[in-house]
C-alpha cells in the first residue's frame, strides 16, 4: 500500500442504530477500523456485539446508520469475496465431511486459498474426513474458522470465536489467528473475555448497552476494565480531596455516597480508612469486567455524573495510517 494512496478503512460504521422491538440493541455506533488492524469488540452479553456484527455483515438492516467495508456497501463487499466470517454458534451442515465444508466454502470465492493448505494451517486436516456434524465443540469451531479463512478474504469477522471451546482449543485457535493476523488481514472479533481481547487485539472497543464506552489500545482498556471501586458513606468531604488519595483514579459523589475508582483498591482503602475515620458502609466492588461495564454505563445512562470521565477516547484509537 503506497503512502499516497488514501486507502479506504477496512470497516466504517456511522451512526449505527438497531432495535428489536422495545430493546435498543445498538444505540448509535461510530467505528472506523483501519485496513490491517486487529480489533476486539469487547462487552458482556447484551452489549450489542452480535447486533453490530450482523449489521456490519448485512445480515440485519440497521434502523439508522451506514456500513462500509473497504469503501463499499456490505453486500457488495461480500459479493466481491472481501469478507470471511465466523458467526456465533453456527453448527455444521449435515451430510458433508469436514473437508467438503471447506471445499464448498472455497468454491464461493473468486480467489480461494488451497483447501489442503488451510486444513493444515488450522489443524483441521487431522479430522478432515469425518462427518462435519460429528465433531467436538472445539473442532467444529476450527472448521468454521477454516471456512472463514479459505476464501482468502481481506476482512475477517469473528463473532465470539472461542465461545464453548475448552482452554486447549482456545490456545490452538489463537495460535492460528496470530499467524493470520501477520498476513495483514483486517480482523474484527467479538469476545467477552478481556484476556483474549488483551492478548490478541491491537485495539479494544468496549461496548456496553449498545454503545461504545471506551476505545483504545488494549493496555489502556485493560487498566480501565480492571478498575475496582470503593463505595463509602462519607458526607462533607470534597471529592477533589479524595481524588488525591494514593491508588484513586477518580471520584464521584452521589449524595452522601462517594465512589472511588481505583487503580489500586487495596492502597486506596488503607488511605481512606486512615485519613477519614468517618467513612462507613464500605464496599469494595469490581474486578470483573461485567461490573466495570455496568459501572461505566450506569453513570452514562442515568446522567448522575458527567459521561466524559467514563468514556475514554484515546488518540491512538482512530484509523491507523
Partner 1 sequence: MNVGTHLKFEVLRTFRNRGFLIVTLALPLVLYCAVTPGNKSKHAMVENMPFELYFMTGMAAYGALFAVFSPTTRIALDRQRGWGRQTRVTPLRAGTYLSAKVATAFLVALPCLALLYIAGTAFGVRMSASQWLEMTGLLLLGLIPFIIMGITVGHLAKAESMPAVIGGLVVVFALFGGAFGEFFNSGATLKVIKLLPSYWLCQSGKVAKGSGGWAAEGWIVVAVWTAVMIAVAIPAYRRDTRRA
- State yes or no: residue 300 binds partner 1 (CB under 8 A): no
Angle at 295 between CA 291 and CA 297, to 5 degrees: 115
Which residue carries 459523589 as its cell?
A: 253
- Beta carbon of residue 79, minimum distance to partner 1 (angstroms, whole number): 5
Segment contacting partner 1 by CB under 8 A, of 22-30, 55-63, 121-129, 243-251: 55-63
**Range in contact with partner 1 (rule: CB under 8 A) among 83-91, 116-124, 168-176, 188-196:** 83-91
x/- mask, partner 1, residues 242-281, rule CB under 8 A, reads: ----------------------------------------
Binding range to partner 1, per CB under 8 A, among 89-97, 177-185, 262-270, 287-295: 89-97
Query: Smallest gap, in angstroms, from Cβ of residue 133 to partner 1?
Result: 9
- CA–CA gap between residue 260 and residue 113 (Å, rounded): 53
Q: Does 81 bind partner 1 (CB under 8 A)?
A: yes
The dihedrals phi and psi of 306, each to the nearest 5 degrees, come to: -70, 135
If one asks whether residue 144 binds partner 1 (CB under 8 A), the answer comes out as: yes
Q: Is residue 154 at the binding interface for partner 1, with CB under 8 A as the rule? A: no
Query: CA 49, CA 64: separation in Å to the nearest integer?
Result: 17
- Number of chain residues interacting with partner 1 (CB under 8 A): 35
Give yes or no for residue 103 binding partner 1 (CB under 8 A): yes
Place of cell 458482556: 44
- The site for partner 1 (CB under 8 A) is made up of 50, 54, 57-60, 78-81, 83-85, 87-96, 100, 103-105, 107-110, 144, 147, 151, 157
Amino acid at each position: 500500500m503506497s503512502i499516497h494512496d488514501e486507502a479506504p478503512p477496512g470497516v466504517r460504521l456511522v451512526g449505527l442504530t438497531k432495535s428489536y422491538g422495545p430493546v435498543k440493541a445498538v444505540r448509535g455506533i461510530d467505528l472506523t477500523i483501519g485496513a490491517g488492524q486487529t480489533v476486539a469488540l469487547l462487552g458482556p452479553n447484551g452489549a450489542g456485539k452480535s447486533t453490530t456484527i450482523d449489521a456490519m455483515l448485512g445480515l440485519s438492516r440497521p434502523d439508522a446508520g451506514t456500513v462500509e467495508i473497504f469503501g463499499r456497501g456490505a453486500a457488495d463487499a461480500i459479493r466481491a469475496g472481501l469478507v470471511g466470517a465466523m458467526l456465533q454458534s453456527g453448527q455444521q451442515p449435515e451430510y458433508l465431511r469436514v473437508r467438503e465444508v471447506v471445499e464448498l466454502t472455497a468454491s464461493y470465492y473468486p480467489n480461494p486459498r488451497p483447501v489442503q493448505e488451510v486444513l493444515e494451517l488450522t489443524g483441521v486436516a487431522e479430522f478432515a474426513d469425518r462427518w462435519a456434524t460429528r465433531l467436538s465443540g472445539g473442532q467444529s469451531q476450527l472448521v468454521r474458522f477454516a471456512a472463514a479463512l479459505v476464501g482468502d478474504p481481506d476482512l475477517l469477522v469473528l463473532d465470539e470465536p472461542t465461545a464453548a471451546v475448552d482452554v486447549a482449543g482456545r490456545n490452538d485457535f489463537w495460535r492460528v489467528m496470530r499467524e493470520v493476523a501477520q498476513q495483514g488481514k483486517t480482523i474484527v472479533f467479538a469476545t467477552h473475555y478481556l484476556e483474549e481481547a488483551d492478548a490478541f487485539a491491537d485495539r479494544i472497543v468496549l461496548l456496553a448497552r449498545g454503545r461504545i464506552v471506551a476505545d483504545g489500545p488494549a493496555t489502556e482498556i485493560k487498566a480501565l476494565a480492571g478498575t475496582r471501586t470503593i463505595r463509602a458513606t462519607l458526607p462533607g468531604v470534597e471529592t477533589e480531596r479524595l481524588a488525591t488519595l494514593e491508588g484513586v483514579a477518580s471520584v464521584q459523589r452521589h449524595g452522601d455516597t462517594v465512589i472511588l475508582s481505583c487503580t489500586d483498591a487495596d492502597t486506596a482503602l488503607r488511605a481512606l480508612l486512615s485519613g477519614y475515620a468517618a467513612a462507613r458502609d464500605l464496599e469494595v466492588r469490581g474486578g470483573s469486567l461485567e461490573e466495570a461495564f455496568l459501572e461505566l454505563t450506569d453513570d452514562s445512562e442515568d446522567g448522575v455524573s458527567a459521561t466524559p470521565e467514563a468514556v475514554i477516547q484515546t488518540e491512538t484509537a482512530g484509523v491507523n495510517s
